[in-house]
Structure 1
Amino acid sequence: MNRIRGSIFFSVFAAMLGLMLIAPIMPPLIRELGMKESHSGLIISLGSIAMAVMAPVWGRFSDLKGRKPIILIGFIGMSISCALFALALYGGLNAWMGGGLLLTLLIVTRSLIGAFIPAVLSSSQAYMGDVTEGEERGSGMAIISAANGLGLVFGPAIAGAFTIIGLLWPLYFGIFIAIAAFIIALLLIPAAKPVIQDKPPKVNPFQRGLRMYLAAGLVTMVGIMTLQVIGGFYFQDQLNLSPAATARMVSFGLMFSGAAMLIMQVIQMKWLKWQPRPMILLGSLFLMGSMVLFLVSTQLSIYYFSFFLFGMGSGLMMPGFMAGASLSVSKEQQGGAAGLVAAIQGISAVITPLLTTTLYQVDKHIPFMLVAILVVVMGAVMLGVRKNQTHSVAG
């Protein structure tokens, strides 16, 4: 079991790392290529749309074909598409091509990356759902969540380190990590029979139980993406920092969040072993507290504490909504549910940058206020559903 969990952890970490290596290098690359800033947004957004569209498809394929084959296909596609994306950028930087042809190739190859990564994410989560039951599900999903969170946090940091060598080196590392993860998955993840032999039953994202956890997942991911997208602008404006100082501050803050996420998920796996609902409710309190501190404080030390508090909250909410979605469906629907969870990540990556940057131009506090309101509404709905279910049982 430890071998399975460890290999699944590394698979999810490698997939998220590969995804997050791209975002930090796109702005300087776009300017080196003489393209517009809007082109960068188009490339990233269309890649996220591909991720959102393909995640449920890969999840259903994993129900029908088995988890391991889809994970392996995901890493093969990820390595090839990342290589093609790097080749297109290399061609543009060396003036082999330009204009509409270059933009088209960058959109297509980035979309391919977005299309293959959820094959790993959805199949890995479904595999964890297969090998855990009941109370173990929350601990199992904490492993997935920890890998997700670490990839989200350390991807940009690793990309920044590799740019010291060259702007394309993060992509070369992405190709390497995908190949390494393929080999590890091939050798260490046991093959398992498909959970169903016929066409997999469709999973309705609006079905009772599942919709609540998908909504909690969307709120969680919007919160994480908001901090990543507008955090640098906000802290630079609040503290009057230079660009270099802002980059250092945000990097340290995200590292604090990553450490807090890992700590909370270890606590959940080893000691708490809570069910999804209490994990989400407690996590929402931490997340709400961090938003309030971000809004009212102008001190660097308080901001760092807020990052840590944010990591504690998201470190509980991520495994909470993943486990909740998994427990809301049958064994034959694990892949479909996992695909919807992965799609939520893609959807948040599409809507959050556009929404939060637009709101930031109106008032710099509004994006954090929006996250706080969404968290409060989500918590109230979850408490209300629980209360109604209790009254129903009592009646």
Structure 2
Amino acid sequence: MNRIRGSIFFSVFAAMLGLMLIAPIMPPLIRELGMKESHSGLIISLGSIMMAVMAPVWGRWSDIRGRKPIILIGFIGMSVSCALFALALYGGLNAWIGGGLLLTLLIVTRSLIGMFIPAVLSSAQAYMGDVTEGEERGSGMAIISAANGLGLVFGPAIAGAFTLIGLLWPLYFGIFIAIAAFIIALLLIPSAKPIIQVKPPKVNPFQRGLRMYLAAGLVTMMGIMTLQVVGGFYFQDQLALSSAATAQMVSFGLMFSGAAMLIMQVIQMKWLKWQPRPMILLGSLFLIASMILFLVFNVLSMYYFSFFLFGMGSGLMMPGFMAGASLAVSKEQQGGAAGLVAAIQGISAVITPLLTTTLYQVDKHVPFMLVAVLVVLLAIMMMGMRKNESNTVMDPIHSL
């Protein structure tokens, strides 16, 4: 991994880490502040909406202003907004502020975090699109996907470790990691001229080729979010675990998923070098298999194996839909496409928690059934894509 790719990897990892440090500490903080559980959902959901709205905007700006400046702005905004969020929480815990004012400040500062993080995610992915061509695009996006996956997995684990010192310490670490990432990006990411000098061509999310890969991204992220949101409830109910044992089990499971995700992405980068469609199709098989095992078996060891299969599947599907979206547009549209991909993460973070928790109350198996059905439908539609619509240089689908 060269200097550019390594610095892009760390930038994406730091951004996702900063995002995932927040969710685990919100429930205990909300109760410490004497607020309602619904307030926690409101704070996180509105931040996710801001992420979905701003991701395409940052992507387009990176086309016009350049990738590196937008990445640097993202880290500055991330560190400042995280500090303001921590300050608001500190004020609430010390009874300096409360009531509606506290809730408003938490919503605004959390929304600012959601506003600036996609500046990094969109621009970094677009930068990877700039420095890779054709067959290298899948391997390049595997680096982005690996950084995303590691942030998703290790963010909650790191947050849990820092809470042993204090509930606000994960946020303090988030400020530190944003500043460190800013310095690394400033020193290691080369400056490059903006891709376009005139009014940028618009990227239509429903245009041929791109729409299918955005759909693949939405399904993949909904699967990941489902496991994170209702997985703990499901395994606790299935295995009759205590709260502590459930937390431990889910942590180990997510670590298995993260390891599998990293393994598959290294294999893709070093040896397979597949194009987007076969990556998504093979990843779909792993994801469907993991959902079936989650639903059929009631044994801890089998659940861990299912987590590993899930990581293998998502480890192929994430770089698949990222590379597919990048290859589906022109060089002048890389920022716009990357912004739409980042927006998918925000959209899934808004709809998945509400949808899956509601379905879980109907029947605990339904959320996993839904993911399986969505993945099956996606695979069928992906199989029906015309070769020219996939916009790939080389499509080894028949190798599957």
Opposite residue 341 of structure 2, the aligned amino acid is: V
Q: Residue 173 of structure 2 corresponds to which residue in structure 1?
A: 173
SS of the residue 2:196 aligns to: coil
| Structure 1 segment 143-292 matched on structure 2, within 5 A | 143-292=143-292
**2:172 counterpart letter in structure 1:** Y
- 1-side partners of 2:33 and 2:199: how far apart? 46
* Partners of 2:48 and 2:283 in 1: CA distance: 26
Cα separation, partners in 2 of 1:377 and 1:88, compared to 1, 3 Å: same
Tell me the equivalent position of 2:77: 77
What secondary structure does 1:303 align onto?
A: helix
Deviation at 1:386, TM superposition (A): 3.4
Contact conserved, 2:209 with 2:389, CA < 8 A, in 1? no
C-alpha RMSD over aligned residues: 1.0
| Corresponding residue number in structure 2 for 1:360 | 360
Aligned residue number for residue 43 of structure 1: 43
State the match for 1:5 in structure 2: 5
Corresponding residue of 1:135: 135
* C-alpha distance in 2 between matches for 1:136 and 1:284: 22
Secondary structure at the aligned position of 2:349 is classed as helix
Which moves more between the two structures, 377-386 or 245-254? 377-386
Equivalent residue of 2:191, what SS? coil
Counterpart in the other structure of 2:60: 60
Task: Give, in whole Å, the separation in 1 of the partners of 2:386 and 2:198.
Answer: 35
- Distance in 1 (alpha carbons) for counterparts of 2:314 and 2:267: 14
- Asked if the contact 2:82/2:171 (under 8 Å) is kept, the reply is yes
Q: Secondary structure at the match of 2:194?
A: coil
The alpha-carbon deviation at position 201 of structure 1 amounts to 1.2
Shift of the alpha carbon at 1:53? 0.1
User: Structure 1: how far apart are the matches of 2:148 and 2:109?
Assistant: 23
Q: CA, structure 1 residues 275+388, in 2 after alignment: closer, same or farther (shift >3 Å)? A: closer
Q: What amino acid is the match of 1:116?
A: F
Count of paired positions: 390
The SS at the match of 1:385 is coil
| Structure 1 equivalent of residue 383 of structure 2 | 383
Q: State the SS of the aligned residue for 2:386.
A: helix
**Partner of 1:232: helix, strand, or coil?**
helix
Q: Do the aligned partners of 2:55 and 2:119 also contact (CA within 8 Å) in 1?
A: yes
Q: Secondary structure at the match of 1:208?
A: coil
For residues 228 and 158 of structure 2, the distance between their equivalents in structure 1, rounded to whole angstroms, comes to 15
Pairwise CA distance, 1:282: 0.1
Between the aligned partners of 1:378 and 1:320, the Cα distance in structure 2 is: 13
Q: Contact conserved, 2:208 with 2:389, CA < 8 A, in 1?
A: no
Counting aligned pairs with the same residue, the percent is 91
CA positional deviation for 1:76: 0.1
Q: Which residue identity is paired with 1:205? A: P
Per-residue CA deviation, residues 83-142 of structure 1 (Å, 9 max, x unaligned), is 000000000000000000000000000000000000000000000000000000000000
Note the C-alpha offset of 1:263: 0.1
Which amino acid letter does the alignment assign opposite residue 11 of structure 1?
S
CA distance in 2, matches of 1:52, 1:387: 30
Change (3 A) 1:347 1:198: same
Partner of residue 322, structure 1: 322
The match for 1:393 is none
The DSSP-based 3-state class of the residue aligned with 2:384 is: helix
TM-score of the superposition, structure 1-length normalised?
0.98
Give the gaps of 5 or more residues in structure 1: 391-395
Residue 29 of structure 2: aligned partner: 29
Deviations 1:179-203 (A, max 9, x none): 0000000000000000000121110
Task: Give, in angstroms, the shift of residue 387 of structure 1.
Answer: 7.4
- Residues 75, 182 of structure 2: 8 Å contact kept: yes
Indicate the residue corresponding to 1:19 in structure 2. 19
Corresponding residue of 2:394: none
Tell me whether 1:309 sits opposite 2:306 in the alignment: no
Distance in 2 (CA, whole Å) between partners of 1:387 and 1:289 is 26
Distance 1:99 1:271 in 2: 56
AA in 2 matched with 1:243: S
Which deviations, in whole Å up to 9, do the C-alpha atoms of 1:273-309 show, x marking residues without a partner? 0000000000000000000000001000000000000
Matches of 1:353 and 1:386, distance apart in 2:
34
Provide, for residues 250-279 of structure 1, a one-character-per-residue CA deviation record: whole Å limited to 9, x for no partner.
Answer: 000000000000000000000000000000
Q: Look up the match of 1:94.
A: 94
CA distance in structure 1 between the aligned counterparts of 2:310 and 2:359, rounded to whole angstroms = 21
Deviations 1:328-354 (A, max 9, x none): 000000000000000000000000000
Stretches (4+) displaced over 2 A: 386-390
Task: Kindly provide the amino acid, as one letter, of the partner of residue 336 in structure 1.
Answer: G
**Paired residues of 2:76 and 2:179 also in contact (CA < 8 A):** yes
Q: What pairs with 1:341-360 in structure 2 (closer than 5 Å)?
A: 341-360=341-360
